[in-house]
Amino acid sequence: MPHPGAFGQLTRIFPAETSEMADRRPLLRIAVSGNLDELAAALDAEVRAEMAKDRVYWEPLKREFEAMRFAEARGNRAAP
């Protein structure tokens, strides 16, 4: 997870970019505020949300790959 202090520092180094992107990335507003506790909580929530999306995306693919692997293993056992 990005360090809240470093994230906040980047918003100070790049104020124009921060302002330009703040509508798309609400975390930037929190970073500009300097409230590191709130920023840390928001970053953690964002990371957890992305991890949940990843699980939803990968779970069916993992099942499909596993089924293919088991089918291949069964096929190899049937060979003389």
Q: Tell me the per-residue pLDDT of 21-65, one tens digit each, with 9 for 90 and over.
A: 999 998 999 999 999 999 999 999 999 999 999 999 999 999 999
9 is in which domain, residue-wise?
4-78
Instruction: Name the domain count of the chain.
Output: 1
What residue type is 19 in one-letter code? S
Which of 48-52, 55-59, 67-71, 76-80 shows the lowest mean pLDDT across its residues? Answer: 76-80
Kindly report the pTM of this predicted structure: 0.69
Distance CA 23, CA 12 (A): 17
User: What three-state secondary structure class fits 22?
Assistant: coil
